[in-house]
């Protein structure tokens, strides 16, 4: 279990109730009955959960919304359960477009352990409101087909199941939907019921695209146990221009540093648009309402300083990757753009940074001009040499004076790489072999 210092994380005391803060920050898009939930929370701690399916080796930024929601509710004195779907991950939640490819049991089991560690990173497992972890494979592995149909299936009406957004979309597509994925919603509802029975759990959170599955569990508890339960659905975050949040050139932003480096992660947040940065501060940081208001004023008054973006990038990168990795990412960012010493960067951070730049392979003895061409910074050797002659090219932040300057062993950063800049903004890299 991952244990770290979470004492710095606090909810904003300027709000009278945690639900007020969650609404202000933008965590609540749809809910069962907020007034009833508020009254129940006023009576004492509530046990709640969110489930994460191992359909990939890592969680991504969409999941981070739920992880922070779990944490904020815990900070308000409630009891979280993080569930990793060892069984539902074998099935796959229906996507609106096409059937998922089923992964092997071995792969899913490996991903379960990875996601478990990621969820644990964000919760406190000590004290009065200590978190718990759960795996739904524990209560489904011995569930027979007959028990599934008799004890669970009889509580679900096919008409209601067909109305779920993802199911409806698939039925109206050429792909159709298999009975396997069609049954997913029953299994997720069963999770809610089992956690209710085992831990007195009363609420599930999730993305608004999961709303049908969330209320399926609420309905199942009402039918089987005659008890009430609650659900909170968070909005699917999009950028101000309507594009999907958390995508960079078609690739998800993962919270695993092996899939998205701390440097790339930091750069993603640093490049947040002015129109989006305040909303991102609300959802993804522990800055108070007053502090976020001050950042909002700075965005309006001095947007060119990008203070809000820098604060956002540092805060979220530290949250996900820790302070040390964040400091290295910031140092790399500053050094690459001429505000720090590139020679002080460690090899791993440097390689991560170069991976985010246009880059190419090069060899000792190659001209700097060749690197510019190979990376697409210029169209031809003559254009590259002309740019050097005009004083517009630097190697490792030092201006190149000779238009035929070649790479030497003394130029290699961390023994393997060089950074070349053309003008103020065009930055490229090369990994140098013998």
Domain holding 423, by residue range, is 357-434
Cα(188)–Cα(136) distance, rounded to whole angstroms?
9
Confidence (pLDDT) at 247: 60
What is residue 158's predicted lDDT score, i.e. its pLDDT?
Answer: 87
**pLDDT number for residue 1:** 46
Residues 230 and 112 in one domain: yes
Contact (Cβ atoms closer than 8 angstroms) between residue 288 and residue 306: no
What whole-number distance in Å separates Cα of residue 289 and Cα of residue 311?
14
Per-residue model confidence (pLDDT) at position 177:
86
Residues 197 and 105: beta-carbon distance below 8 Å: no
Half-sphere exposure of 159 (CA within 13 A, CB side): 0
Whether 292 is in a domain gets the answer yes
Same domain, 144 and 134: yes
CATH of the domain at 187: 3.40.50.620
Return the pLDDT at 250: 58
Is 285 contained in some domain?
yes
Q: Is residue 332 located within the same domain as residue 363?
A: no
What CATH number is attached to the domain comprising 247? 1.10.240.10
| Per-residue CA distances from 326 to 277, 285, 292, 419 (Å) | 19, 15, 21, 21
In whole angstroms, give the CA distance from residue 382 to residue 370. Answer: 10
Q: Are residues 232 and 269 in the same domain?
A: no
How many C-beta neighbours within 10 Å does residue 42 have? Answer: 8
For residue 292, the model assigns a pLDDT of: 98
Asked, for residue 193, whether it belongs to a domain, the answer is yes
Mean pLDDT in each 10-residue stretch from start to end of the chain (434 residues)? Answer: 79 98 98 97 98 95 97 98 95 82 93 97 96 96 91 88 82 84 91 97 95 93 96 92 70 91 95 96 98 98 96 98 95 86 89 90 94 95 95 94 94 91 91 78
Could you tell me where the DSSP H helices lie in 135-270? 137-140, 145-147, 158-162, 165-171, 179-182, 184-199, 211-225, 262-270
Q: Are 243 and 233 in contact (CB under 8 A)?
A: no
How many structural domains compose the chain? 3
Joined together, the tokens standing for residue 76 give 């308000």
């Amino acid at each position: 279990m991952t244990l770290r210092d979470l004492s710095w994380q606090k909810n904003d005391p300027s709000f009278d109730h945690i639900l007020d803060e969650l609404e202000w920050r933008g965590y609540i898009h749809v809910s069962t009955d907020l007034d009833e939930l508020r009254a129940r929370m006023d009576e004492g701690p509530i046990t709640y959960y969110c489930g994460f399916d191992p359909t990939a080796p890592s969680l991504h930024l969409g999941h981070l919304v739920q992880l922070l929601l779990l944490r904020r509710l815990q900070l308000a004195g409630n009891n979280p359960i993080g569930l990793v779907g060892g069984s539902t991950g074998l099935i796959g939640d229906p996507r609106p477009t096409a059937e998922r490819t089923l992964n092997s049991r071995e792969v899913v089991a490996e991903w379960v352990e990875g996601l478990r560690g990621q969820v644990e990173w964000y919760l406190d497992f000590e004290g009065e409101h200590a978190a718990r972890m759960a795996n739904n494979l524990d209560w489904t592995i011995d569930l027979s087909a007959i028990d599934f149909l008799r004890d669970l299936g009889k509580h679900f009406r096919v008409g209601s199941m067909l109305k779920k957004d993802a199911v409806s979309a698939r039925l109206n597509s050429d792909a159709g939907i298999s009975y396997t994925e069609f049954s997913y919603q029953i299994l997720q509802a069963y999770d809610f019921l089992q956690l209710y029975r085992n831990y007195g759990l009363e609420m599930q959170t999730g993305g608004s695209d999961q709303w049908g599955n969330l209320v399926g569990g609420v309905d199942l508890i009402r039918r089987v146990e005659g008890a009430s339960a609650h659900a909170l659905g968070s909005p699917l975050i999009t950028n101000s221009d309507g594009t999907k949040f958390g995508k960079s050139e078609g690739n998800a932003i993962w919270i695993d540093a092996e899939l998205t480096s701390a440097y790339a992660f930091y750069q993603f947040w640093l490049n947040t648009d002015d129109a989006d940065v305040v909303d991102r501060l609300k959802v993804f940081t522990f800055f108070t309402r007053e502090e976020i208001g001050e950042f909002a004023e700075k965005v309006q008054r001095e947007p060119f300083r990008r203070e809000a973006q820098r604060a956002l990038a540092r805060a979220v990168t530290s949250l996900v990757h820790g302070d040390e990795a964040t400091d290295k990412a910031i140092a790399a960012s500053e050094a690459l753009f001429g505000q720090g010493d590139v020679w002080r960067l460690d090899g791993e951070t440097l390689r991560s940074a170069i991976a985010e730049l246009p880059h190419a392979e090069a060899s000792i003895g190659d001209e700097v001009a060749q690197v510019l061409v190979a990376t697409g910074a210029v169209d031809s050797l003559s254009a590259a040499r002309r740019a050097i002659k005009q004083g517009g090219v630097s190697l490792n932040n030092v201006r190149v004076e000779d238009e035929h300057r070649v790479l030497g062993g003394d130029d290699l950063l961390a023994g393997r790489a060089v950074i070349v800049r053309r003008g103020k903004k065009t930055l490229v890299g090369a990994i140098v072999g013998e």
